[in-house]
Amino acid sequence: MGEIVELDASGIRSALSEVARRLAAAGQRGSLVVAGGAALVLLYNARKSTKDVDVYISEPEPASLLRDVAVAVGEALGLPSDWLNDGCKGYFHGYAPGEVVFSEPGLVVQAAAPHQLLAMKLSAWRDTTDFSDARFLLGKISGDKEYVWRIVEPFIIPGREIRARYAFEETWELVRENAS
């Protein structure tokens, strides 16, 4: 197994810049939606780093063009071949656009909105990182408990609603009720 590489905001932007340069040189344009830890690093500096950049590839079609460029950039920069991957696409249920976190000729990267990022974390609910990220994201969304759940729920992965609701309740209690 190879060494795990941690990408900070500067490293992510540098790698994305190289992807943008290569796409533009090939007469292509890419459009990505970033989620997971990379979104938290780029949007809020909520984490120092992440091990990969989870994205949904909007452009180009076919997505394999962007995947090939990302692998080549990874090789050139000494990053794992999956440093940029669309493995999170199974956690996208709908799309709520958030802030643009990177834009250069050849590539635009937009984050999913905070309530969708929270829904993705609640749907996954795998480990302490998801729990920590959910707590952070909940702190970024204003409103009472029912309002917040109402804007998060449409983005919960079908079949995971009950588990996500329990995760939401637990997180709400720790973040909002214990904070008062």
Percentage above 90 pLDDT, the chain? 87
Whether 1 has a pLDDT exceeding 60, the answer reads no
Q: What is the reported pLDDT for 3? A: 60
CB 19 within 8 A of CB 69: yes
Whether 106 has a pLDDT exceeding 90, the answer reads yes
Residue 112 phi/psi, 5-degree rounding, is -70, 155
The DSSP symbol for 7 reads: B
Residue 55 phi/psi, 5-degree rounding, is -140, 160
Q: What is the reported pLDDT for 176? A: 78
CB 137 within 8 A of CB 117: yes
Global pTM value: 0.91
Q: What is the reported pLDDT for 163? A: 95
CB 18 within 8 A of CB 7: no
pLDDT digits (tens, 9 = 90+) for 18-56: 999 999 999 999 999 999 999 999 999 888 999 999 999
Average pLDDT over residues 117-135: 94
Domain segments of the chain as ranges: 9-112, 116-177
